[in-house]
């Protein structure tokens, strides 16, 4: 089976639930007392599709302003971006535009973009209308989802959408695929020097928390 291996960067303001979403997906758990990410955390997971196995290298970046200058180090060579905002905090939605502009300035190749409004369980506190989220997603070429990490709603669909997007991207022109790795699962199990399975030496020297987690997932049902 064909294997597609890509780097996913998770961006968004502090407190929107980026880490909670990843931990819910990878570890099937919710922690009410997750500490703010320092620099970035690193996770890997696998999603098995009918046509390919997709390996996701997920970089969870810090949302705090004091770590903002470090962000380009983590989304360099990214193939997909998960843009997360808090449905109950409108300013976190408007902040997504800044992240999108930074991605466009720093990444030349095509990307899979997924816009996520988290904390849908707090419906009575909602500040971002679903239609506004969908319209903005269309404008930036992203798909749109609303999730609740607390209640485990919509999380599977988000990561499945990323995997499907990377699989489609891998079928395009080889000239456009830059750092996206595609290989036969039977004939190749080794990592490539331009797409490491663990943080590069340059990234490893940065002051950050690194959380390693590996999870393999079958395709989710629609």
**DSSP calls for 23-77:** HHHHHS---TTPPPPSSEEEEEEEEE-SSEEEEEEEEEE--SGGGGGGHHHHHTT
pLDDT at 177: 54
Given a cut of 50, the residues of the chain with pLDDT beneath it are: 38-39, 66-67, 188-222
Torsion of CA 51, 82, 26, 63, to 10 degrees: 160
Contacts of 35 (CB under 8 A, 6+ apart): none
Q: What is the pLDDT of residues 47-78, one digit of tens each?
A: 999 989 999 999 887 655 544 566 667 777 88
| CB 144 within 8 Å of CB 154 | no
Strand-pairing partners, residue 153, are 148
Task: Please report how many Cα atoms fall inside a 13 Å half-sphere around the Cα of residue 25, on the Cβ side.
Answer: 27
3-state DSSP assignment of residue 114: strand
**Pairing mode, strands 40-48 and 214-217:** parallel
What the chain holds in terms of domains, given with CATH numbers, is 2-217 (3.40.50.300)
pLDDT at 152: 94
144: number of Cβ within 10 Å = 21
pLDDT at 178: 59
3-state DSSP assignment of residue 195: strand
Strand-pairing partners, residue 40, are 61
Helices 155-170 + 18-27 axis angle, to 10: 90
**CA angle at 150 for the pair 40 and 8, rounded to the nearest 5°:** 35
Q: What is the C-alpha to C-alpha distance for residues 222 and 220, in angstroms, rounded to an integer?
A: 6
pLDDT at 163: 96
pTM for the whole structure? 0.77
């Amino acid at each position: 089976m064909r294997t597609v291996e890509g780097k996913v960067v998770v961006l968004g303001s502090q407190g929107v639930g980026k880490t909670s979403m990843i931990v819910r997906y990878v570890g099937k758990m919710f922690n009410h007392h997750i500490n703010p990410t320092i620099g970035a955390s690193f996770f890997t997971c696998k999603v098995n599709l009918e046509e390919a196995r997709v390996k996701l290298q997920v970089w969870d970046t810090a949302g705090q302003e004091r770590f903002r200058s470090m962000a380009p180090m983590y989304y360099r060579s990214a193939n997909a971006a998960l843009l997360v905002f808090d449905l109950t905090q409108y300013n976190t939605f408007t902040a997504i535009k800044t992240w999108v502009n930074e991605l466009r300035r720093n990444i030349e190749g095509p990307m899979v973009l997924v816009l996520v409004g988290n904390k849908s369980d707090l419906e009575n506190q909602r500040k971002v209308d679903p239609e506004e989220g969908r319209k903005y997603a269309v404008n930036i070429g992203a798909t749109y989802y609303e999730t609740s990490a607390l209640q485990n709603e919509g999380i599977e669909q988000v990561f499945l959408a990323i995997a499907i997007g990377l699989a489609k991207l891998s079928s395009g022109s080889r000239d456009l695929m830059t750092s996206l790795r595609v290989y036969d699962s039977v004939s190749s199990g080794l990592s490539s020097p331009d797409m490491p399975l663990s943080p590069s030496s340059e990234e490893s020297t940065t002051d950050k928390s690194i959380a390693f987690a590996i999870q393999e997932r079958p395709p989710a049902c629609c």
